[in-house]
């Protein structure tokens, strides 16, 4: 059985690689570009931009192999009916969800800042999940889509490691998915939070899942390219 070299031990691949999906969490302008939500919260967005070329390489390999690809977008309806007051009121940022910014209304579906960055823009046929929460399973059709397609293994990438990526990986683990976090394809505004998240997810024998590098994923998938 093929495996990906990972921590705390090797991650087993299913015989049918179509059961694996690459999940790109919230690679949106609102989190990665100046003037968006992340910036408004006082964060250094350049940290997140640094993973884009590495993630693009992994995305390209999944596209070459025609394996399932899932993009998520954190967003709300223009009338904010899907945004609980607790989320709307949280924090002391200069801009709040629904406010106008240089890239349109913050975290509102369809606004320019809500788009996935151009480098990683979804292609037709790729799954796009619009999610009102930090986790991608809450109030979305993700469970049904995964079940319909027979997807059992999820490779997690995207931003931010300790917020939306970790929340989604925990949701997925509880639902029985085999979860692998690709360390150099995820990032946080806080390096210490990224490191802590990596360590806590794979602790206790992989209590939530595994972690690895994109090089290890590419090495494991390369033989699949040759007949």
Binding residues for ligand TIU (CB under 6 A): 26, 31, 41, 74, 134, 159-160, 163-164, 189
CA distance 113 to 23: 20
Spot the catalytic one: 26, 30, 39, 115. 26
13/164 with CB nearer ligand TIU: 164
Q: What is the DSSP letter of 165?
A: I
CB of 167 to ligand TIU, least distance (A): 8
Which positions ≥6 away from 22 have C-beta within 8 Å? 58, 59, 62, 67, 68, 69, 70, 155, 157
Dmax (CA) for the chain in angstroms is: 56
CA distance 58 to 157: 10
Which positions ≥6 away from 66 have C-beta within 8 Å? none
10 is catalytic: no
Which positions ≥6 away from 222 have C-beta within 8 Å? none
CB of 227 to ligand TIU, least distance (A): 39
Q: What is the DSSP letter of 83?
A: S
Q: Which helix (H) or strand (E) holds 37?
A: helix 37-40
Spot the catalytic one: 164, 179, 185, 194. 164
Spot the catalytic one: 30, 39, 83, 131. 131
CB of 110 to ligand TIU, least distance (A): 18
Q: CB neighbours (10 Å) of residue 168?
A: 27
6/164 with CB nearer ligand TIU: 164
CB of 214 to ligand TIU, least distance (A): 20
60 is catalytic: no
68/158 with CB nearer ligand TIU: 158
17/41 with CB nearer ligand TIU: 41
160/212 with CB nearer ligand TIU: 160
CB of 131 to ligand TIU, least distance (A): 9
26 is catalytic: yes
Query: What are the catalytic residues?
Result: 26, 131, 164
């Amino acid at each position: 059985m093929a495996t990906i070299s990972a921590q705390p031990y090797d991650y087993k691949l299913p015989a049918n690689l179509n059961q694996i999906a690459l999940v790109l969490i919230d690679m949106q302008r609102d989190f990665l570009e100046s003037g968006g939500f992340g910036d408004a919260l006082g964060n250094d967005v350049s940290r997140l931009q640094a993973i884009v070329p590495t993630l693009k390489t992994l995305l390209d390999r999944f596209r070459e192999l025609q394996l399932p690809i899932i993009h998520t977008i954190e967003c709300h309806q223009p009338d904010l009916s899907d945004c609980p007051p607790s989320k709307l009121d949280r924090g002391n940022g200069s801009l709040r969800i629904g406010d106008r910014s240089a890239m349109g209304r913050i975290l509102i579906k369809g606004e320019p800042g809500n788009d996935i960055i151009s480098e990683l823009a979804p292609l037709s046929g790729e799954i796009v999940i619009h999610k009102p929460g930090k986790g991608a399973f809450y109030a979305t059709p993700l469970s049904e889509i995964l079940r319909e397609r027979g997807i059992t293994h999820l490779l997690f990438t995207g931003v931010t490691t300790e917020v939306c990526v970790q929340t989604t990986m925990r949701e997925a683990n509880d639902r029985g998915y085999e979860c692998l976090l690709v360390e150099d394809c995820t990032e946080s505004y806080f390096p210490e939070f990224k490191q802590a998240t990596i360590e806590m997810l794979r602790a206790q024998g992989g209590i939530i899942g595994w972690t690895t590098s994109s090089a290890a994923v590419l090495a494991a998938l390369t033989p699949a390219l040759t007949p």
